Amino acid sequence: MQRVLITGSNSGIGRSTAALLAARGYRVYAGMRDLGKATKLMEACSAQGAEALPVALDVNDDASVRDAVARIEAEDGPVDILVNNAGIALNATVEDVDIEEAKGVFETNFWGIIRCTQAVLPAMRSRGSGHVINISSVAGRIAAIGQVIYSASKWAVEAMSENLAQEGAPFGIRVSIIEPGVTRTAILPKNMGHPEPTEYADAYRRMLQFYARGVMENTSADVVAGVIHSAIEDPAPKLRYPCAWGGVELCEGRSQLSDEAWVDLGRCKSDDDYYAAFEANFGLDIRTPSG
């Protein structure tokens, strides 16, 4: 039975993934800062006749990460699969960034992944196998307007994942990058505001319109969990797995879009012009009935 450690398992993609993998026969260690928030995960597992094992783990704390992994290794054996899921978001344009607040985003989204990965790599390396799955975002492939810090943190995850994929290959360690588009999770309602006052109202309005359109599709975290499970079982492994609403369109569309065309999006005077250009470039209509 493969041992899986999933960070941020108390809600959203982490919780859905923990419940799904437990139901599929994996031994799941569900990392979360507050074990008191494990109730919904336990209920989800119980409904499927499965069990996940909550473990106290704060990705922002060196000792917490070391202790969690050491406990798993001592009680059950080395982690076979690490799912780096814990993450937070922040809306801001470059001029509006609060640097101290922004450091917290990188602490969780980037350094948290480094901490957890470093903790499991020695055992993976010594036995010649292992799988690290990093939850990125479409914002790791495009410079998401009005989300410079969140997007930059996910770009950093993409770069680190590419590095690790090469570094780990000689030791039998595989890396997968999951790139969800808009998914219905708790991170969305927590991240609907933006700095005020601001000179960048157009950028924030268009960014929030994109998410509003994605929310209409009602893509659940279970969809992303299914992609994670598929990545684990994939007989022809890939490095990247775009998914959820807009995932494939945005990742593929940006790779085919010239830098000049990308910059031109920002020059659109009206929202209607922006939405039309966005659809022309990515094949996604981000208008809503109220937008």
pLDDT at 291 over 60: no
**What is the band of 258 on the pLDDT scale with cuts at 50, 70, 90?**
very high
* Position 190 pLDDT exceeds 70: no
Q: Residue 192: pLDDT band by 50, 70, 90 thresholds?
A: low
Average pLDDT, the chain: 95
90 part of a folded domain: yes
pLDDT tens digits for range 139-155: 999 999 999 999 999 99
Top-confidence residue, 205 or 187: 205
Per-residue pLDDT band for 188 (boundaries 50, 70, 90) equals low
Q: Is residue 112 part of a domain?
A: yes
CATH number for position 26: 3.40.50.720
- Residue 195 within a domain: no
Q: Is residue 123 assigned to a domain? A: yes
Is the pLDDT score of 136 beyond 70? yes
The confidence score (pLDDT) of residue 226 equals: 98
Q: How many domains does the chain have?
A: 1
Q: Which domain holds residue 138?
A: 3-190+219-256
- 206, with CB counted inside 10 A (0-12, 13-18, 19+), is buried
Tens digit of each residue's pLDDT (9 = 90 or more) over 34-63: 999 999 999 999 999 999 999 999 999 999
Residue 266 in any domain: the answer is no
Evaluate whether residue 153 is within a structural domain.
Answer: yes
Domain assignment of residue 272, yes or no: no
Is residue 28 very low, low, confident or very high in pLDDT (cuts 50, 70, 90)? very high
3-state secondary structure 9-76: CCCHHHHHHHHHHHHCCCEEEEEECCHHHCHHHHHHHHHCCCCEEEEECCCCCHHHHHHHHHHHHHHC
CB 152 within 8 A of CB 159: no
Residue 184 near residue 220 (C-beta atoms within 8 A)? yes
One-letter amino acid of 240: R
For residue 21, pLDDT beyond 80: yes
Report the pLDDT value the prediction gives residue 289, as an integer from 0 to 100: 83
Query: pLDDT tens digits for 172-185?
Result: 999 999 999 999 87
CA dihedral of 29, 34, 36, 42, whole degrees rounded to 10: -30
In a domain, 168, yes or no: yes
Q: Could you list the active site residues?
A: 150
Q: Is the pLDDT of residue 189 over 90?
A: no
The string of pLDDT tens digits covering residues 61-91 is 999 999 999 999 999 999 999 999 999 999 9
